[in-house]
Structure 1
Amino acid sequence: MTGVTVVTSRDVNGTPIGFTANSFTSVSLDPPMVLVCVANTSRNLDTLVKATGFAVNILAEDQIDVSNTFARPVEDRFASVNWHKGSYGTPILAGVTAWFDCSMHKTVIAGDHTILIGQVEEFETTATPGLGYVRGAYVTPSTTAEAIEPSANLVVSALIERNGEVLLLDDGKGGLALPEQQVTSEGVSTALAKLIASTGLMAEPGFVYSVFEDVKHQHISFMCQTAEGEPTKGAFVPMTATGFAGISDPAILSMLKRFATESPLGNFGMYYGDQYSGEVRPVLKEK
């Protein structure tokens, strides 16, 4: 599955341009840099190479129409969407789950594509779940959850993040753990909704972040973000070695360490495997 992104910029006359990116990934954390790849046959390539910067807009789950608009040969793609100028001058689409406003650092010709490397000058993320794309169809967090069949040993957990911290609870064994709940016949969506509600937070479920199994259970962890409220149980801890010191489950500890590394630029992957080893598949990559 890939995330759906729209790259925006301006031509020499200040006219906004935008299109669906072939790929988007982080390059560096210090300084923060990202890259996008543009086909050499793209009509936007010359404009982008000459531009002083570009923005990457990660679309929200309710922006399928925006994705379609920027993927088709529409004369004025910005006529039907709301947007504003970022502080660095590039168009930022309204309602997206995250955006990165970048100055142009370097362009590199690589085969039949050109790589645009941008230094992140400003960015913003929200609690809105993102839009995904897999096997020729759009997917959202809700449809992903509904497609998962409940079983007697299925456990769902919520990775709830806010301002660089993650919510952890007492695991009842003297350690810390993510909020989690057994999935019943009501299904994954209902179990996840009840789990989030039990924390007392106004959080929204995002994409599946990790799927793994141990000797007793199958685990599905959903990435969530929250901007309001205080937890009725547990506490937010910093995503540092000190903050994670009390986590008792090695698999959860490994997952949260990965999340802490991926969070600064929102370049996330999904883990598939067991409690010992598996594969991380990028959420945002070439489509």
Structure 2
Amino acid sequence: MTAFDPRSLRDAFGAFATGVTVVTSRTAEGAAIGFTANSFASVSLDPPLLLVCLAKTSRNYANMTGASAFAVNVLAEDQKDVSNTFARPVEDRFAAVEWRDGPAGSPVFPGAAAWFDCTAERIVDAGDHVILIGRVAGFENSGRNGLGYVRGGYFTPALEARALRAAGEEATRVAAVVEREGTVLLVPAEGDRWALPATVIGDRDPVAAIEADVRSSTHIEINAGFLFSVFEDRTGGRQNIVYRAGAAAGPPSQGRFFPLDTLPMERLDTPQTADILRRFAAESTLGNFGVYFGNETAGRVHPLAGRA
């Protein structure tokens, strides 16, 4: 058999954007249990079937594989805190969310984008996981947008749409906070100063533009895609989009990686770059990131949790 590095394979799987769910059930004693999962898919309309995947190492493995029913709650875009709560060993996870029993008896969340309460149909062995197939006994669709997850971070459709509208102008400038192991890539700017890697979009996709131009100018491969800031520079008369990005190994052909605690804050090209890097450094310590919308002097940070 071909041997793969597990972490590299997991990162590659993470390129596929998914939703975020909380899977719930009850123990044999009747206690409510639940955990965050993004390995969920519809299977069939007739009969109504869905599936979720569960690691055999999960603390919920015995309870879930022995349960006669389970529910899948598709989280709404403002339920990142719920996702994080059910991803951690919190003593009373259900105290953080409004819930009730579904038709099959598992906890369902009325505030979710949708929920599906199921009876257990079949368990399929699948390597280091099992596939739980459920038959839908009842469901509810609130019509709200779901919370997204890709490459280890959350995204929301509403904020992504605002960024796309900003990218509709060919003069839009796109930049990236490129991080690697606690350091950030900065490139030379005028007057012996430092700047974020940036480019002008033109008629290109903003993510494709910044990835291609950073690769061309620094010979470093990056993976962009997590929004960090969208703002109008009224003085320069253009929109700006800033993404968070991860960098591959290797030295850059221009610029250098600075540790977060030694960023050259007094030698940055603009006050906006300084504001971006100060916020990035502060949010990195918590592992929770937001998306700023506004102009060069005033706006609002929309909180987004950085990882589950």
The verdict on a shared fold, with TM-score over 0.5 as the criterion, is: yes
For normalisation by structure 2, the TM-score amounts to 0.54
Once residues 248 and 255 of structure 1 are traced to their aligned partners in structure 2, the CA distance between those partners, rounded to angstroms, is 12
1:243 is matched with which residue: 254, 263, 281? 263
2:225 is matched with which residue: 206, 212, 231? 206
State the AA in 2 paired with 1:211.
V
Offset, 1:67 = 4.7
Relative to structure 1, the CA distance from residue 188 to residue 47 in structure 2 (aligned partners, 3 Å threshold; closer, same or farther) is closer
CA distances 1:49-106 after superposition (whole Å, capped 9, x unpaired): xxxxx5x55x5xxxxxx35459x9x87743xx474636xx468xxxxxxx99633255
1:159 is matched with which residue: 177, 185, 196? 177
Higher Rg of the two aligned structures: 2
Structure number with higher relative contact order (C-alpha < 8 Å, ≥ 6 residues apart): 1
Once residues 193 and 145 of structure 1 are traced to their aligned partners in structure 2, the CA distance between those partners, rounded to angstroms, is 17
Q: Percent identity?
A: 26
How many residues in Structure 1 have an aligned counterpart in Structure 2? 212
Unaligned runs of 5+ residues in structure 1 are 14-43, 49-53, 60-65, 92-98, 115-126
Relative to structure 1, the CA distance from residue 68 to residue 263 in structure 2 (aligned partners, 3 Å threshold; closer, same or farther) is farther
Match of 1:5 in 2: 20
User: Counting helix residues as a fraction of each chain, which structure ranks higher?
Assistant: 2
Match of 1:95 in 2: none
Once residues 110 and 251 of structure 1 are traced to their aligned partners in structure 2, the CA distance between those partners, rounded to angstroms, is 36
Unaligned runs of 5+ residues in structure 2 are 1-17, 62-83, 101-149
* Corresponding residue SS for 1:181: strand
Alignment of 1:98-137 (within 5 A): 102-105=88-91, 109=95, 112=98, 128=151, 130=153, 132-134=155-157
User: Are the counterparts in 2 of residues 196 and 203 from structure 1 also a CA contact under 8 Å?
Assistant: yes
1:183 is matched with which residue: 201, 204, 207? 201
Root-mean-square deviation over aligned CA pairs: 4.3
Once residues 169 and 290 of structure 2 are traced to their aligned partners in structure 1, the CA distance between those partners, rounded to angstroms, is 23
List, as ranges, runs of 4+ consecutive aligned residues in structure 1 with deviation greater than 6 Å.
Answer: 8-11
Match of 1:224 in 2: 245
User: Are the counterparts in 1 of residues 167 and 201 from structure 2 also a CA contact under 8 Å?
Assistant: no
